Amino acid sequence: MRKLLLFSILSAFLAGTVSAQTPDTTKLWTKGFNAALTFNQVSLTNWAAGGENSFGGNSFLNLFANLKQGKTTWDNSLDLAYGMVKLGDAKIRKSDDKIDFLSKYGHNVINKHLFLSANLSFKTQFADGFNFPNDSVLISTFMAPGYLMLGLGMDYKPYPYLSISLLPVTGRLTIVNEKTLSDAGAYGVEPGKTVRDEFGALFKVTFDKEVITNVNIKSKLELFSNYSKDPQNIDVNWEALLMLKVNKLISTYIGVQTIYDHDILITDKDGKIGPRTQFKQTFGIGLTYSIKRFQATVNQ
């Protein structure tokens, strides 16, 4: 109950600081999106070396809207990704699936690089996931799991492309809104419950920069410690995306993601159950498109 109250307090703080802005000032927004759609195929006929026909595709979309107004910044981003693959005669299965929303409000308090910051984030996935090759065992779906985090602390931005946040007052809700999974106690919830609440500290680093012409690196590292239970077990989520632009419409990208959560139990090939380091790698070449524009408005 106290942790849910903390979420309410932080929400009120965020709403109050936003509404407290002076209306008669110039507002400068940076808005845009990045999108990519890639395909891959392997077709074999009388192929002596063996193998399977395959067809797959991946897509991702990044939407952003960032405000800079005097001493105040408000950054918003939504990352969406989905991919599918078909191997031989097997059913189509998903190869990527992500919904990741982040809203960060900052107000300069000491110098131009240091901000009092409130962070709101939400993560889940679009579709059902199964324990292949057994497609009858559901292991994830929309809002199972879902992660909602709200934190208060400091944000250090020495450069426009680098942000380092320390949020010592952070609440996290893990939501498992699917009866089979919640009854089994999946993703750290107590068996039969759909929500697990935690209170702890979050350390976050984000980096997004075109390091050389037509080569962009985007990376995000999150470290979370739960004060009330095993604070030494740090939850880790690191994502990185390297995009190389061939021309205006064609790019290639390599993405990696590493997750470690002590409360997520995974069964290995030997049947042993326990926390494991999760790793995902994606690669694609295909159509990409991006728009970035600035919009200044003056409220009278």
| pLDDT tens readout for residues 15-70 | 444 434 444 445 689 999 988 888 888 887 767 767 788 888 889 899 999 998 88
* CATH number assigned to the domain comprising residue 86: 2.40.160
Is 27 inside a domain boundary? Answer: no
Please indicate whether residue 267 or residue 167 has the higher confidence score (pLDDT).
167
Domain count, the chain: 1
Is 300 inside a domain boundary? Answer: no
Note the pLDDT tens digit of each residue in 25-34: 456 899 999 8
Tokens of 250: 């064609």
Is 31 inside a domain boundary? Answer: no
Per-residue pLDDT averaged across 228-247, rounded? 93
Please indicate whether residue 299 or residue 88 has the higher confidence score (pLDDT).
88
Per-residue pLDDT averaged across 202-218, rounded? 94
Domain range for residue 194? 2-22+58-291
pLDDT at 152: 97
HSE-CB for 42 with a 13 A CA cutoff: 11
Q: What percent of the chain has pLDDT over 90?
A: 56
Please indicate whether residue 272 or residue 133 has the higher confidence score (pLDDT).
272
pLDDT at 51: 76
Is 39 inside a domain boundary? Answer: no
Is 51 inside a domain boundary? Answer: no
End-to-end CA gap in the chain:
43
Is 171 inside a domain boundary? Answer: yes
* Nearest one of 203, 120, 199, 200 to 163, comparing CA atoms: 203
Is 36 inside a domain boundary? Answer: no
pLDDT at 238: 97
Is 77 inside a domain boundary? Answer: yes
**What is the C-alpha separation between 34 and 248, in angstroms, rounded?**
12
